[in-house]
């Protein structure tokens, strides 16, 4: 009975009290009767409150003075699990993730709001507006977990891979044959999960969209990590998860794009002021269509200087515009 009494007091304070809305002893007493059908004396409740203030308690009970009656104490449990801004971050991440269906989004947000008191939960009622549609993917969570487990266990994985066609039909590549790869890491980039992997028998590293994978399975085949491969460095050199040839890259930008470049490459980027309203950026990166299309985003305000392969790719892509708007 004593344990049940203490748990009831903890649940009552966790649910109904907060720093902004603490509870008096009589309010705690009323809630315990209403919700838990526990008729406790003032002395019993004070005993539990005293324990919650002791060093033996894992909870942090705070006290204050009732604004309406300065002689009366009020109580609330400090939320040691999540602060309101932390819950907001988690809710917004769930809301913006396209691979989480709307129904699952609603369930997760409901659970996240249940991790705090009622007052704070109401402050979290305004949800993030997401601008892109969500896509429900069968077994997506299981696939992500399988990949993480395979990476940890240093096991290969196999899966089917596909894309939608213009009729919105999901068509499997290789006529449904399985890909077998060495999984190097999982990356979340621009609202999508990617698997960074090497296909069996090949050296080239490829990025696979996990929402385009199906029938993901961990195999019994083991693999040995390459000590010279740095996953974080590799990912930082990619543009929009496109694979390509790694090279030293030089690009020129108008000065108004300095914050765009810093957002993409960080404050440590090698930048040189050209004193003509433009600046030079030199980086090690992957030459790919992802980089070409990123540069074309900025029109004539961005220019590729080297390597020659990148310049040729830019010319070819720009040439495709000729006659497009006639």
Where are the CATH 3.30.70.240 domain residues in the chain?
239-319
Quote the pLDDT of residue 55. Answer: 82
Q: Quick one: what percent of the chain has pLDDT higher than 70?
A: 96
State the CB neighbour count (10 A cutoff) for residue 133. 7
Residue 186 phi, psi (nearest 5): -115, 130
Average pLDDT over residues 208-229: 92
- Residues 23-41 pLDDT 10s: 889 988 998 888 888 888 8
pLDDT tens for residues 107-165? 888 888 887 777 778 888 877 776 666 766 778 889 999 999 999 999 999 999 999 89
Q: From CA 68, how far away is CA 71, in angstroms rounded?
A: 9
Nearest to 82 by CA among 110, 49, 54, 121: 121
The per-residue DSSP string of 172-221 comes to EGGGGPPEEEEEEEEEEETTEEEEEEEETT---EEEEEGGGEEEEEEEEE
Q: What is the pLDDT of residues 161-182, one digit of tens each?
A: 999 898 989 899 999 999 999 9
Q: State the pTM of this model.
A: 0.67
- Nearest 5 degrees, angle CA 169-CA 170-CA 172? 135
Q: Is the pLDDT of residue 238 over 90?
A: no
Q: Which range, of 74-78, 114-118, 168-172, 253-257, averages the lowest pLDDT?
A: 114-118
Q: How far apart are CA 9 and CA 28, in angstroms?
A: 8
**Distances in whole angstroms, Cα of residue 89 to Cα of each of 94, 96, 133:** 9, 11, 20
Containing H/E element for 260? helix 258-265
Residue 64, beta-bridge partner list: 74
And the tokens for 17?
């009290």
- CB neighbour class for 31 (10 Å; exposed up to 12, middle 13-18, buried from 19): buried
Q: How far apart are CA 138 and CA 145, in angstroms?
A: 13
Q: Is 318 exposed, middle or buried (0-12, 13-18, 19+ CB in 10 A)?
A: exposed
Phi, psi of 238 (to 5 degrees): -85, 155
The CATH architecture assigned to 239-319 reads 2-Layer Sandwich (3.30)
The segment(s) of the chain belonging to CATH 1.10.10.10 are 2-77
Architecture of domain 2-77: Orthogonal Bundle (1.10)
> Does 283 or 86 have the greater pLDDT score?
283
């Amino acid at each position: 009975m004593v344990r049940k009494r203490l748990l009831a007091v903890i649940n009552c304070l966790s649910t109904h009290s907060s720093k902004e809305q603490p509870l008096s002893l009589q309010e705690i007493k009323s809630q315990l009767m209403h919700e838990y059908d526990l008729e406790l004396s003032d002395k019993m409740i004070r005993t539990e409150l005293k324990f919650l203030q002791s060093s033996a308690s894992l909870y942090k009970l705070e006290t204050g003075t009732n604004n309406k009656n300065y002689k009366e104490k009020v109580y609330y449990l400090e939320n040691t699990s999540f602060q309101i801004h932390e819950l907001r971050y988690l809710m917004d991440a769930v809301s913006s993730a396209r691979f989480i269906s709307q129904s699952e989004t609603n369930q997760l947000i409901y659970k996240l709001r249940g991790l705090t008191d009622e007052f704070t939960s109401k402050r979290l009622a305004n949800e993030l507006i997401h601008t892109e549609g969500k896509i429900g993917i069968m077994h997506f969570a299981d696939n992500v977990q399988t990949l993480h487990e395979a990476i940890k266990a240093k096991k290969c994985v196999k899966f089917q891979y596909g894309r939608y066609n213009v009729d919105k039909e999901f068509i499997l590549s290789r006529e449904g044959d399985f890909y077998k790869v060495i999984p190097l890491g999982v990356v979340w980039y621009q609202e999508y999960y990617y698997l960074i992997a090497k296909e069996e028998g090949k050296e080239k590293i490829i990025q696979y969209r996990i929402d385009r994978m199906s029938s993901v399975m961990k195999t019994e085949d083991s693999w040995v990590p390459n000590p010279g491969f740095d996953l974080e460095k590799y990912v930082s050199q990619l543009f929009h998860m496109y694979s390509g040839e790694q090279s030293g890259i030089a690009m020129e930008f108008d000065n108004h794009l300095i914050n765009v470049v810093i957002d993409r490459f960080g404050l440590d980027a090698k930048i040189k002021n050209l004193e003509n309203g433009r600046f030079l950026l030199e980086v090690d990166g992957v030459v790919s269509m992802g980089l070409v299309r990123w540069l074309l985003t900025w029109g004539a305000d961005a220019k590729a200087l080297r390597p020659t392969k990148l310049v040729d790719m830019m010319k070819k892509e720009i040439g495709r515009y000729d006659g497009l708007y006639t």
